[in-house]
Homo-oligomer: A and B are copies of this chain.
Amino acid sequence: MVNIIDVARQAGVSKTTVSRVINNYPHISPDKRRQVMEAMEQLGFVPNPSARKLRGQVTTTIAVIVPKIVNPFFAYLVDAIEQEGYRQGYQTLICQTNEHKSKEIAYLDLLKNKQADGIIMAAIENDWADIEPYTAFGPIVLCNEYVNQNDVPTIRVDQHEGTYTAIRHLIERGHRKIMYCTGGLFTDFGKDKDRNQAYQRALEEAGIAINPNWILVDRHTIEDGKKVTELILDMSDRPTAVFTGSDEIASGLMMAARKAGLHIPNDLAIIGFDDQPIAEVLSPSLTTIRQPIARMGKQAVDMLVQLMDQQPLSTSLSKLPVELVIREST
């Protein structure tokens, strides 16, 4: 491995000077700078990141933690973050927890060991109380997920508004039997709390009673969607519309419903969440709530960079608007 000393020798300078060239220090004679550049070129020198991280204060590395990279929502988010990070001179470490608490913690250790200057969490497996201590080692920004705590830097969409808009849309289409089918649990915190409350509020305002049979939780995948359809088919009192927490559930649901002979949207209206590319190519195409993923990623990076640069944050919470995209499934 060719190192800074080899370059120094080749250029006839000290390794300090080489280091200065690498790091663009201002006061170096043009002559020496040129010599060093040439030597680096000739020897194919590349600075060793381990050594830099070990010695320096700064790693110019950020990490983004997602549960599953095969989930298109997270893939697009990671992509946005990676590209914006790259633009701002950061290397992005992509970390997949597979929903394991221990893996999440292991990735947070990246801060502890100065492997990364900051972390963007797109999901949270552990309690915030267990994560918070890591902020002592570097900034953590939540993106997409959030917690019941005011001072945690967060970029997210307005889940309440999104869900409320979706349910209102179904009601306006004449539906009164609306199933609610989402990711997390029907709990009292974070993302799901907002969605749950919006669902309840929209129904209440329309004077519709809530049917507990039509509340399904912990549904994520296309497979889950198919199973939801089976559930619906088995019901004596079927819903006429379904709100789903992601386009993936929606697509599985739609496919199975179609196969069972249901006409969409006449027999069953379906609305998704995310506006993934798939939403447009489904038949019928999927009405859904569009999340501004690229903007979320960019803003998360911006906020993280501000924190890493010790700049004061104008606001610790950025709530981006969502958009109802009406297609054929409702």
Return the contact of A75 from the options B51, B69, B252 (Cβ within 8 A). B69
A148 located at the interface, meaning its Cβ lies under 8 Å from any Cβ of chain B in the complex: no
- CA of A49 to CA of B112, assembled, Å: 11
- CA of A285 to CA of B70, assembled, Å: 21
A282 located at the interface, meaning its Cβ lies under 8 Å from any Cβ of chain B in the complex: yes
How large, as a class, is the contact surface on chain A?
35 or more
A330 located at the interface, meaning its Cβ lies under 8 Å from any Cβ of chain B in the complex: no
- CA of A213 to CA of B294, assembled, Å: 37
Q: Which residues of B contact A254 (CB under 8 A)?
A: 281
Kindly supply a per-residue 1/0 record for chain A positions 80-101, scoring 1 wherever the CB is within 8 Å of any chain B CB and 0 otherwise. Answer: 0011000000000110101000
**Contact indicator B83/A98 (Cβ below 8 Å):** yes
Q: Chain A's interface: helix, strand, loop or mixed, by majority?
A: helix
**From A255, which residue of chain B is reached at the shortest CB distance?**
B281
A50 located at the interface, meaning its Cβ lies under 8 Å from any Cβ of chain B in the complex: yes
- CA of A96 to CA of B83, assembled, Å: 9
A78 located at the interface, meaning its Cβ lies under 8 Å from any Cβ of chain B in the complex: yes
Contacts known (A54-B51, A69-B78); A46 close to B113, Cβ less than 8 A: yes
**From A251, which residue of chain B is reached at the shortest CB distance?**
B281
A48 located at the interface, meaning its Cβ lies under 8 Å from any Cβ of chain B in the complex: yes
Q: Which residues of B contact A282 (CB under 8 A)?
A: 281-283
| CB-CB contacts below 8 Å: A272-317 with B | 277-278, 280-283, 285
Return the contact of A49 from the options B47, B51, B113 (Cβ within 8 A). B113
**From A285, which residue of chain B is reached at the shortest CB distance?**
B255
8 residue pairs of the A-B complex, CB under 8 angstroms, read A49-B50, A49-B115, A50-B54, A69-B69, A75-B75, A222-B281, A255-B285, A278-B278
> In the complex, given contacts A252-B281, A281-B282, what are 16 additional A-B residue pairs having Cβ atoms less than 8 angstroms apart?
A1-B113, A46-B113, A50-B51, A50-B53, A50-B113, A50-B114, A54-B54, A69-B78, A69-B82, A70-B79, A79-B96, A93-B93, A94-B96, A251-B278, A255-B281, A282-B282
